[in-house]
Chains A and B, each alone.
Chain A
């Protein structure tokens, strides 16, 4: 029998009825009396100066109630306090096609839309910067004049650990490859939506589909200029997020300001095209990976360079840049490591965090190169990975603390399930099998703004009928966070999940949780709820023990009963025990909080991105067939094992693995956020190819449990990591099938056919294009970075 009564059971999620009957209320379903409808006017230019905006014709239009522009909200904002380079609506300049310039509130949506064409904006077009190479070299065209770095560089980071030069010198062979990962977007099925309501008491409420109600709360205060105490943010159930609803967005500020101006509720719902402009999706990254290996395959040194195409604004870009380097060390033994990351601005929608944030692209490069190394060594690619695994309970060369580590078990599971060694290298031409491993964080080790407060807070209340309410600032984005919190509380208090109400994502009702990003909720909010509920458990146990006349350590709680372990018939209902505890102690409300430990990273500039209290691990095997006539890659099956510490709710973990595998599959073979002269090529679901039920491969999800020492009941993340190994596993399977290495994504039929017809062994980038000598630009960049660092040291 399990030691748990709720944890690990295959129970249905809580709060499901509304989702199945159409009664769940998403932001766009909210309709308030006298509500106005808002629309954003967006820039038709990729790069232009705004000379003049005249909204008088729009304001005079019948049915238009208010208009606002960038001048009404001149405060800079952005998700990362150290790199705020955005405005709620463009001020002075527009930086991509789709950049919001003005907002209209009108009596209905059609009127608001019509009014957009009546806003007169005079632009002075500027030359757009559209590629990484241009961004690095064009000193004469600056997207952000005050970036403080040469040309259009947003951020450059340079880190070195261990004896890198020595490692390459002693290497038997050095692998030197370039890779390119194409940008992709989240495409949640719910477009962004927000409703603001400013009431007569001077209080503002914003219902919005956001993953980060707390961070948004802070930015609203800053931009709107009213105290946070008068603003309430309520995160509505997100109809999918995947990272795409983790920034503060123009429509949220505009809804608030227009509601404050008109004293009427204002709703903005983006249309599908606008979601492609709001973006904040996967960065296109050009990568240079050099890996030294000994004669028997041990890695002696790695030098990894990443060039991130960030788009027009910072978003989470500073973290993304570090993330492209940080987690390279946590999977396989790596004694020496050098990382150079550069993120540039371009005149395209801003990139940000998408499921796997910044780790997906380098993982693709690394796992593809490892496949090549294993082949040269004559080793099975799973056996090779098993040989070089980073051990559990260790430190990486860049100072990251590793505790539980189940990559070995994951590899073993996918090997057994797919009979990999019997197939790899032995299938007929056109059929292939490939493998890859990966890792992810269970929540970022540091918050985005420096503070010593908890990352997650929760309160738990027990009512006199035995009901339990959990309050936590987390955002339910479909990942099942409400259910996870209900499971943790129910297990602690010995009730059923259906007895638990979860109030989440409300800045007025719930203690702060930093939000549903970086796969942090199960680990951090789970621990906060575990602590809060644990405190009430103690009171209930003590009260019941006194009543039953047995020692407290003999009291158990399960199935709504509180009873004597030695004589289970002796006991009472949970509700009765709760009444005793409340009679003795007063109102049964407790709080809990969680902050990651301090000793989980090294101590150097840039060490704040990468550490986490626990890494999740995963391995995937893809089986493909390539049609040699059409170039179509059919992924027949993905088998993926994921180390989630402990599965609090196994079906939910399996759902995350399957969903992540699907999303990775889409990125591997079809999805791309691409542009023509600054204009999005595919801003609709007709053109941007999301896999359908006909395309998506059969998937097998395998749960590996390593029982993490610090996770709630041993749990780690499950939402993001499982995306990472799928893409390189597919690329490696395609190689096994046709002998062509795809060192870039996506692997489209046109590229496959081209490679087959030209008899190529590789498809991928050759390096930085030499047209305008970006290498010289890089030398200049490094020189200025060195000078900046020196200046800092001296001052």
Chain B
């Protein structure tokens, strides 16, 4: 397997890594860089727990070859709250409106919803459900997640 040196930005920091051609971004993040906030749930791009933003677009990192990240900006759950650990209005809304229970899908939910609010600052209910369809949750029945996104969008208005 060929090896490649890649340069990318991870949560605002310039990084380099040497990866094999078939190394997946999820494994680069979790195993090599210790960024374990991004979770693995299915490894086939269905559940959305491994969602990260690549140049602002939500991507399943379990399907994304790490070599593709060369020259790109990656944002993970670790890069959502401010450097001082201050939660975003969306993260606070997840607490206040029952947006999570066990928390394992939550990094993916927060990352996807962050991208949603960046693309559509005041989404309709239908827009929320459609955008978040790729992030499965087994605990909340999505009700708390919808409430949290609604509330955060209200805060941003």
Contacts and interface: CB of A to CB of B under 8 A. Distances in A.
**Chains A and B bind each other:** yes
A26 B39 contact: yes
A295 interface: no
Nearest to A271: B43
B38 interface: yes
Contact of A190 (B39, B46, B91, B110): B39
Interface stretch (B2-10, B64-72, B94-102): B94-102
Interface stretch (A14-22, A133-141, A328-336, A618-626): A14-22
Interface in B36-68: 36-44, 46-47, 49
A693 B138 contact: no
Interface stretch (A111-119, A535-543, A656-664, A787-795): A656-664
Main secondary structure of the interface of A (DSSP, over half): loop
A36 interface: no
A693 B132 contact: yes
Interface in A589-624: none
A552 interface: no
A699 B141 contact: yes
Nearest to A655: B98
Interface stretch (A307-315, A498-506, A683-691, A727-735): A683-691
Interface residues of A, number: 57
B83 to A, nearest CB: 12
Given A696-B141, A699-B141, A238 B78 contact: no
Given A189-B102, A189-B138, A479-B101, A22 B38 contact: yes
Contact of B91 (A20, A31, A239, A654): A20
Contacts of B30: 29
B73 to A, nearest CB: 18
Contact of B136 (A21, A191, A692, A701): A692
A726 B32 CA distance: 45
Contacts of A699: 141, 143
A685 B47 contact: yes
A658 B142 CA distance: 8
Given A190-B102, A663-B138, A694 B133 contact: yes
B34 interface: yes
B101 A690 contact: no
Nearest to A654: B98
A694 B37 contact: no
Interface in A649-684: 651-652, 654-655, 658-663, 665, 684
A207 B142 CA distance: 29
Nearest to A662: B141
Contact of B103 (A478, A685, A690, A698): A478
Interface string B18-46: 00000000000011001111111111101
Interface string B75-117: 0111011000101000100111110111111110010000000
A12 B39 contact: no
A20, A240, A242, A699 interface centre (most CB from chain B within 10 Å): A20
B106 to A, nearest CB: 5
Contact of B139 (A478, A651, A654): A478
Nearest to B78: A22
A23 interface: yes
Nearest to B31: A31
A275 to B, nearest CB: 10
B106 A20 contact: yes
Contact of A478 (B87, B102, B129, B135): B102
A395 interface: no
A21 B46 contact: no
B74 interface: no
Contacts of A238: 102
B84 to A, nearest CB: 12
A16 B94 CA distance: 10
A13 interface: yes
A243 interface: no
A690 B95 contact: no
Contacts of A271: 43
Interface in A229-282: 237-242, 269, 271-272
B136 A685 contact: yes
B81 to A, nearest CB: 5
Interface string A159-196: 00000000000000000000000000011111100000
Interface of A: 12-13, 16-26, 28-29, 31, 186-191, 237-242, 269, 271-272, 477-480, 651-652, 654-655, 658-663, 665, 684-686, 690, 692-694, 696, 698-699, 701
Interface of B: 30-31, 34-44, 46-47, 49, 76-78, 80-81, 85, 87, 91, 94-98, 100-107, 110, 128-130, 132-146
23 contacts: A12-B95, A16-B95, A18-B103, A19-B103, A20-B106, A20-B110, A21-B78, A22-B38, A26-B104, A186-B138, A189-B39, A189-B138, A190-B102, A191-B40, A237-B103, A240-B138, A271-B43, A272-B41, A655-B144, A658-B143, A685-B42, A692-B142, A698-B143
Given A31-B34, A269-B40, 13 more contacts: A21-B80, A28-B39, A242-B138, A478-B102, A651-B98, A655-B140, A659-B138, A659-B141, A662-B142, A685-B42, A692-B136, A693-B132, A694-B130
